[in-house]
Amino acid sequence: MAQYARKYIWWQSPEEALQSPHRVAAQVMSLGSFRDMQNMAANLGDDLLRDVLLHAEAGWFTPRAWSYWHCRLYPGRSIPPMPKRSFL
Protein backbone atom coordinates (compact mmCIF):
# COMPACT_ATOMS: atom_id res chain seq x y z
CA MET A 1 0.00 0.00 0.00
CA ALA A 2 2.94 2.34 0.55
CA GLN A 3 3.64 2.47 -3.18
CA TYR A 4 0.03 3.49 -3.84
CA ALA A 5 0.04 6.01 -1.00
CA ARG A 6 3.15 7.63 -2.46
CA LYS A 7 1.69 7.70 -5.97
CA TYR A 8 -1.99 8.54 -5.38
CA ILE A 9 -2.04 10.57 -2.15
CA TRP A 10 0.46 13.15 -3.30
CA TRP A 11 -0.57 15.80 -0.76
CA GLN A 12 0.54 13.70 2.24
CA SER A 13 3.58 11.68 3.12
CA PRO A 14 3.09 7.93 2.64
CA GLU A 15 3.18 7.48 6.41
CA GLU A 16 0.35 9.99 6.89
CA ALA A 17 -1.69 8.53 4.04
CA LEU A 18 -1.38 5.00 5.39
CA GLN A 19 -3.16 6.12 8.56
CA SER A 20 -6.29 5.83 6.39
CA PRO A 21 -5.79 2.71 4.24
CA HIS A 22 -9.39 2.83 3.00
CA ARG A 23 -8.71 6.31 1.64
CA VAL A 24 -5.61 5.07 -0.18
CA ALA A 25 -7.55 2.15 -1.67
CA ALA A 26 -10.38 4.47 -2.73
CA GLN A 27 -7.93 6.80 -4.42
CA VAL A 28 -6.47 3.92 -6.44
CA MET A 29 -9.97 2.61 -7.20
CA SER A 30 -11.00 6.04 -8.45
CA LEU A 31 -7.90 7.44 -10.13
CA GLY A 32 -5.53 4.52 -10.52
CA SER A 33 -4.24 3.02 -13.71
CA PHE A 34 -5.99 -0.17 -14.75
CA ARG A 35 -2.89 -2.14 -13.84
CA ASP A 36 -2.67 -0.59 -10.37
CA MET A 37 -6.38 -1.22 -9.78
CA GLN A 38 -6.08 -4.86 -10.81
CA ASN A 39 -2.92 -5.46 -8.77
CA MET A 40 -4.42 -3.85 -5.69
CA ALA A 41 -7.67 -5.80 -6.09
CA ALA A 42 -5.73 -9.05 -6.40
CA ASN A 43 -3.69 -8.26 -3.27
CA LEU A 44 -6.48 -6.87 -1.07
CA GLY A 45 -9.39 -9.02 -2.21
CA ASP A 46 -12.94 -8.15 -3.09
CA ASP A 47 -14.20 -8.18 0.51
CA LEU A 48 -11.90 -5.33 1.49
CA LEU A 49 -12.81 -3.38 -1.64
CA ARG A 50 -16.49 -3.80 -0.79
CA ASP A 51 -15.72 -2.43 2.67
CA VAL A 52 -14.04 0.59 1.06
CA LEU A 53 -17.21 1.26 -0.95
CA LEU A 54 -19.41 0.74 2.09
CA HIS A 55 -17.43 3.27 4.17
CA ALA A 56 -16.56 5.72 1.39
CA GLU A 57 -16.77 9.39 2.20
CA ALA A 58 -17.98 12.15 -0.07
CA GLY A 59 -15.41 13.05 -2.70
CA TRP A 60 -13.50 9.79 -2.59
CA PHE A 61 -14.85 8.47 -5.90
CA THR A 62 -15.61 9.87 -9.32
CA PRO A 63 -19.08 8.91 -10.60
CA ARG A 64 -17.51 6.66 -13.23
CA ALA A 65 -15.37 4.79 -10.68
CA TRP A 66 -18.30 4.51 -8.25
CA SER A 67 -20.38 2.84 -10.96
CA TYR A 68 -17.55 0.60 -12.19
CA TRP A 69 -16.70 -0.79 -8.77
CA HIS A 70 -20.30 -1.38 -7.79
CA CYS A 71 -20.92 -3.25 -11.06
CA ARG A 72 -17.73 -5.27 -10.58
CA LEU A 73 -18.20 -6.08 -6.90
CA TYR A 74 -22.00 -6.29 -6.75
CA PRO A 75 -23.09 -7.66 -10.16
CA GLY A 76 -26.80 -7.43 -10.81
CA ARG A 77 -27.48 -4.97 -7.99
CA SER A 78 -28.52 -1.39 -8.51
CA ILE A 79 -25.88 1.25 -7.92
CA PRO A 80 -26.52 3.28 -4.76
CA PRO A 81 -26.14 7.05 -4.73
CA MET A 82 -22.66 8.37 -4.10
CA PRO A 83 -21.90 9.69 -0.61
CA LYS A 84 -22.70 13.38 -0.24
CA ARG A 85 -21.39 16.04 2.05
CA SER A 86 -23.88 17.25 4.58
CA PHE A 87 -23.95 20.59 6.28
CA LEU A 88 -25.68 21.38 9.53
pLDDT tens across 42-88, in order? 999 999 999 999 999 999 999 999 999 999 999 999 999 999 887 76
Kindly give, in sequence order, each residue whose CB lies less than 8 Å from that of residue 26, ignoring residues fewer than 6 positions away.
52, 56, 60, 61
Does a structural domain hold residue 5?
Answer: no
Total domains, the chain: 1
The whole-number pLDDT of residue 88 equals: 65
Query: What residue numbers bound the domain in which 64 lies?
Result: 22-78
29 domain residue, yes or no: yes
Q: How confident is the model at residue 40, as a pLDDT?
A: 94
pLDDT in tens, 5-45: 999 998 999 899 999 999 999 999 999 999 999 999 999 99
Q: Is residue 27 part of a domain?
A: yes
3-state DSSP helix/strand/coil percent for the chain, to nearest 5?
60, 0, 40
In a domain, 59, yes or no: yes
Tell whether 10 is covered by a domain. no
Residue 31 lies in a domain: yes
